[in-house]
Homo-oligomer: A and B are copies of this chain.
């Protein structure tokens, strides 16, 4: 069994722990967190610690902490023979270069505390400072997921940025629509089937080809009517995305 130490007690740490426990090949021997009380997801077979000096020998140390905490944890972690990786989408591989063996183990997903996670469909993006270390990460990742991608630091940044568009920004559009519906005494559930279909469509069609709507049709009458119904940020967003759709699809206003 591959011995793993997880550092951190947030959503990523918790979900990784639960998922590793289900494999036969990984043994999470220890979970470390500055505040030991926050480690609320381990069972008795796993030791907990809040003292950097107590961190045990393992083949793999996973720093599942916030981006801004990575340098501090790296500073406090005394030199390890095992492979030390972080789980961030936007922090470079080099940030862990003080360790002889270092890498990145980035699961591309938005984790919520109380929602169980099935890692098997979650892309895991790996990067390491040597072929040997990359091999170990590939092995560990493949115990969790069928979708393991070798991704360099630039690509990982591009992915993280793309994730902001598809996850954070889409969700904000959903929020605007939910608010707008509520203001008109309409339940948000009335929009949910359409949202599901929007996403289901791009399983079989590239999003460029799936585009529909007044902007694409150059339907200025509807666009003008919609703009007259909006103000503030909502109006600016409607104008800008309409403009962007028309630019991209070659139909200038």
Copies in the complex: 2
Q: Are B194 and A206 within 8 A (Cβ)?
A: no
Q: Mark A20-41, 1 if CB is under 8 A from B, else 0.
A: 0000000000000000000000
**A229 adjacent to chain B (CB < 8 Å):** yes
Q: Are B155 and A211 within 8 A (Cβ)?
A: no
Question: Which chain B residue has the least Cβ–Cβ distance from A122?
Answer: B193
Q: Are A165 and B173 within 8 A (Cβ)?
A: yes
Contact of A173 with B173 at beta-carbon distance under 8 Å, contacts A123-B190, A192-B202, A216-B168 already known: yes
Stretch from A2-10, A42-50, A55-63, A104-112 contacting the other chain: A104-112
Contact of A194 with B108 at beta-carbon distance under 8 Å, contacts A180-B158, A229-B161 already known: yes
User: In the complex, what distance in Å separates the CA atom of A248 from the CA atom of B90?
Assistant: 25
The smallest C-beta distance from A133 to any residue of chain B, in angstroms, reads: 22
The smallest C-beta distance from A217 to any residue of chain B, in angstroms, reads: 9
Residues of chain B within 8 A (CB-CB) of A225 are 90, 157
The smallest C-beta distance from A198 to any residue of chain B, in angstroms, reads: 5
**A251 adjacent to chain B (CB < 8 Å):** no
Q: Are B171 and A202 within 8 A (Cβ)?
A: yes
Q: CB within 8 Å of B: which residues of A?
A: 67-68, 90, 108-110, 112, 115, 121-123, 125, 147, 149, 151, 154-155, 157-159, 161-181, 183-186, 188, 190-199, 201-208, 210-216, 219, 221-222, 225-226, 229-230, 233-234, 236-238, 240-241, 243-245, 247-248
- List of 4 A-B pairs having minimum Cβ-Cβ separation, nearest first: A168-B213, A174-B207, A158-B184, A162-B177
A-B contact pairs, 14 of them (CB 8 A): A90-B222, A110-B194, A149-B190, A162-B177, A165-B238, A166-B177, A171-B198, A173-B173, A174-B207, A176-B244, A178-B206, A233-B247, A236-B244, A240-B240
